[in-house]
Structure 1
Amino acid sequence: MEVRSVAEGIRSFIAFDIDSESVLKRMTEVQTMLTKTGADLKLVEPKNIHMTLRFLGNITPNTVEKIFEEMKKIQFVPFDVRLRGVGAFPNPRYPRVVWTGITQGADQLRSIFEQLEPKLLRLGFAPDPKGFSPHLTIARVRSGRNRVELAEYLSENENFEFGVIGAKCLRLKRSDLTPRGPIYSTLKEFCPQQ
Structure 2
Amino acid sequence: MSQIRAFLAIDLDNDLKPKINKIIKQFKQIDTRIKYVELLNLHLTLKFFGEIDSDGLKLLENKIENVVSEFKPFNVKVKGCGVFPNNNHIKVIWIGIDEDSIIKELHDKLDSEFVKLGFDKDKKFSTHLTIGRMKSAKNRNQVESVIEEFSDIEIGEMTVNNIVLKKSTLTPSGPIYEDLKVFEL
AA partner of residue 77 (structure 1): K
**Distance in 1 between residues matched to 2:14 and 2:74, nearest whole Å:** 14
Equivalent position to 1:164, from 129, 134, 157: 157
Equivalent position to 1:84, from 62, 69, 79: 79
Q: What is residue 120 of structure 1 aligned with on the other side?
A: 114
- Whether 2:42 is the aligned partner of 1:49: answer yes
- Whether 2:58 is the aligned partner of 1:65: answer yes
- Structure 2 unmatched runs, 5+: none
**Distance in 2 between residues matched to 1:143 and 1:65, nearest whole Å:** 40
Q: What is residue 142 of structure 1 aligned with on the other side?
A: 135
- TM-score, scaled relative to structure 2: 0.94
**Distance in 1 between residues matched to 2:52 and 2:155, nearest whole Å:** 34
SS, match of residue 181 in structure 1 = coil
2:73–2:160 CA contact under 8 A, matched in 1: yes
1:86–1:101 CA contact under 8 A, matched in 2: yes
Q: What is residue 171 of structure 2 aligned with on the other side?
A: 178
Structure 1 runs (4+) deviating above 3 angstroms are: none
**Distance in 2 between residues matched to 1:108 and 1:39, nearest whole Å:** 36
Q: What is residue 24 of structure 2 aligned with on the other side?
A: 31
Calculate percent identity across the aligned residue pairs. 33
Equivalent position to 2:6, from 12, 32, 35: 12
**Distance in 2 between residues matched to 1:48 and 1:20, nearest whole Å:** 11
**Distance in 1 between residues matched to 2:31 and 2:62, nearest whole Å:** 46
AA partner of residue 34 (structure 2): L
Query: What is the aligned residue count?
Result: 183
Shift of 1:170: 1.2
- TM-score, scaled relative to structure 1: 0.90
**Distance in 2 between residues matched to 1:55 and 1:134, nearest whole Å:** 14
1:37–1:153 CA contact under 8 A, matched in 2: no
Shift of 1:189: 1.6
2:35–2:132 CA contact under 8 A, matched in 1: yes
**Distance in 1 between residues matched to 2:91 and 2:45, nearest whole Å:** 17
Shift of 1:40: 1.3
Equivalent position to 2:92, from 93, 97, 100: 97
SS, match of residue 175 in structure 2 = strand
- Structure 1 unmatched runs, 5+: 1-6
Shift of 1:146: 0.8
Q: CA RMSD in A?
A: 1.4
